[in-house]
Structure 1
Amino acid sequence: MSDMKDRPYHHGNLRHALIETALTMLDEDRNWTFTVREVARRTGVSHAAPYKHFRDREELLRELARIGFVQLGKTMRNAMTSAQSSSRMQFIAVAQACIAFASGKSGLYCLMFSSDADKTVDPQLHDAAMSTFGILLELLEKGQRDGSFRQGEIAAQAAASWAQVHGLAMLAINGQLLEDKVGPEPIRAALNVLLDGVCCSV
């Protein structure tokens, strides 16, 4: 049958299909101005079908943001485990991986840190974001234990590190890391400046 109301049953997992469609639209347009109706149309289901899985557009956006944090966390973890053993090199690898993730999935990354991804009303989104942030805390703690990083308040070091990496990511997304302004390797140079203030003297 071709009736619209029957189409959802052609999807083995409608929730997954809706999310994949929304992520694709996010990649294409680099924003999240789309409506649930548009996501339904692109997925090939009735306008009412998405509401079986998401109460409203805001809930869908929060789920996309949660997925983004999970993906970013995996990216960071992979970078940390594949880098050289020194804490400094692992830090640089993780930071560069974050910025590459942001550049490659700019729409999703911007959504993750937007007011539409309200972590106070979604415990799962909050947990995913904190788990990702926990990787940075873990790396800083490791650096302090092995003597690579200065002893100090982990939360303060994490805030400074996250602020710089996030700032570099946003500059990269907006195409503002121009060589004539910030040199040929601005990301690596900026990270080294940050680490020179965090690392112990060799």
Structure 2
Amino acid sequence: MPNHRPYHHGNLREALVEAAVALIEESGPQGFTLAEAARRAGVSAAAPYRHFKGRDDLLEEIAKRGFEEFGSAMWDAWDDGLPNPLAAFSRLGQCYLDFARERPAYYIAMFESGVALAPNTELWELSEHGFGVLLAAAEALSRPLPRDKRPPPRMFANHIWAMSHGVVELFGRGAPGARSPISPEDMLSSAALVYLRGLGLIGQ
């Protein structure tokens, strides 16, 4: 039987978030109910409805917190592209992998739970804040190219995002080396180098 943490008056919302985060790590975003989160938090099945409309509302709250933390971490890693955009770009890749590894429930809620971003203005803006650092990186890395040769920044950023997410999904889960003897970090950095060479942004 799981150990239930006692509910302290005034802290129910946080207790439910913590319980849901633990459940997502154990069973995935669809693997729990609001009632189960309530049991983990040590409250009645009806208590969560004081703060959340349902399970999806709780997932949105976790995704919101995740995007906020993720965006701050990514902008800190970018550090205005210093000392040069390529070095800063490498830090972004490491930051992305670190966040997925160290904050798995938040990452899952953000990118794998099916939470709709567009209808939720706050959630959309937070997600765009994090994505904005990839746009900034795309623009900075493309700057050496003639204007008519530069790839559209959002397309460039989407490619990098898809690449990063793919490495997390295929090689960043489970025990190290389970799918490949190459580390996720080396997998992502080598893929990014091939991509940047293809754009003519770095030499051989």
Q: Report the TM-score when normalising by structure 2.
A: 0.80
Which 4+ residue blocks in structure 1 deviate beyond 6 angstroms? none
Aligned pairs (5 A) from 1:2-13: 10-13=8-11
Corresponding position of 2:44: 46
Question: Residues 119-178 of structure 1, C-alpha deviation per residue, up to 9 Å, x if partnerless?
Answer: 133222211111111111122223334x38962311221121111111112112345651
Which amino acid in structure 2 is aligned with residue 173 of structure 1?
G
Q: Please, which runs of 5 or more residues in structure 1 have no aligned partner?
A: 1-6
Taking a change above 3 Å as real, the CA distance of residues 148 and 64 of structure 1, as seen in their structure-2 partners, is farther
Taking a change above 3 Å as real, the CA distance of residues 82 and 136 of structure 1, as seen in their structure-2 partners, is closer
Which amino acid in structure 2 is aligned with residue 99 of structure 1?
L
Q: How many matched pairs?
A: 193
Q: Residue 67 of structure 2 contacts residue 130 of structure 2 at CA under 8 Å; is this kept in 1?
A: yes
Corresponding position of 1:75: 73
Which amino acid in structure 2 is aligned with residue 127 of structure 1?
E
Q: Residue 84 of structure 1 contacts residue 90 of structure 1 at CA under 8 Å; is this kept in 2?
A: yes
Q: Residue 179 of structure 1 contacts residue 185 of structure 1 at CA under 8 Å; is this kept in 2?
A: no
Q: Residue 94 of structure 2 contacts residue 185 of structure 2 at CA under 8 Å; is this kept in 1?
A: no
Q: Residue 29 of structure 2 contacts residue 113 of structure 2 at CA under 8 Å; is this kept in 1?
A: no
The residue matched to 1:47 in structure 2 has which SS?
coil
Aligned partners of 1:51, 1:183: CA distance in 2, in Å? 40
Q: Report the TM-score when normalising by structure 1.
A: 0.81
Q: Residue 62 of structure 1 contacts residue 116 of structure 1 at CA under 8 Å; is this kept in 2?
A: no
Corresponding position of 1:132: 130
Question: Residues 35-80 of structure 1, C-alpha deviation per residue, up to 9 Å, x if partnerless?
Answer: 1111111112221111011111111111111211112112212222
1:191 aligns with 2:192: yes
Q: Residue 27 of structure 1 contacts residue 108 of structure 1 at CA under 8 Å; is this kept in 2?
A: no
Q: Residue 172 of structure 2 contacts residue 184 of structure 2 at CA under 8 Å; is this kept in 1?
A: no
Taking a change above 3 Å as real, the CA distance of residues 129 and 183 of structure 1, as seen in their structure-2 partners, is closer
Which amino acid in structure 2 is aligned with residue 165 of structure 1?
S
Aligned partners of 1:199, 1:23: CA distance in 2, in Å? 42
Q: Residue 11 of structure 1 contacts residue 17 of structure 1 at CA under 8 Å; is this kept in 2?
A: no
Give the CA deviation at 1:90.
0.8
Q: Residue 81 of structure 2 contacts residue 137 of structure 2 at CA under 8 Å; is this kept in 1?
A: no
Q: Please, which runs of 5 or more residues in structure 2 have no aligned partner?
A: 1-5
Taking a change above 3 Å as real, the CA distance of residues 103 and 82 of structure 1, as seen in their structure-2 partners, is farther
Bigger relative CO (Cα 8 Å, ≥ 6 apart): 1
Bigger drift between 98-107 and 124-133 goes to 98-107
Give the aligned CA root-mean-square deviation in angstroms: 2.8
Identity of aligned residues (%): 32
Q: Residue 73 of structure 2 contacts residue 95 of structure 2 at CA under 8 Å; is this kept in 1?
A: yes
Which amino acid in structure 2 is aligned with residue 161 of structure 1?
I
Corresponding position of 2:168: 169
The residue matched to 1:95 in structure 2 has which SS?
helix
Corresponding position of 1:153: 152
Give the CA deviation at 1:91.
0.9
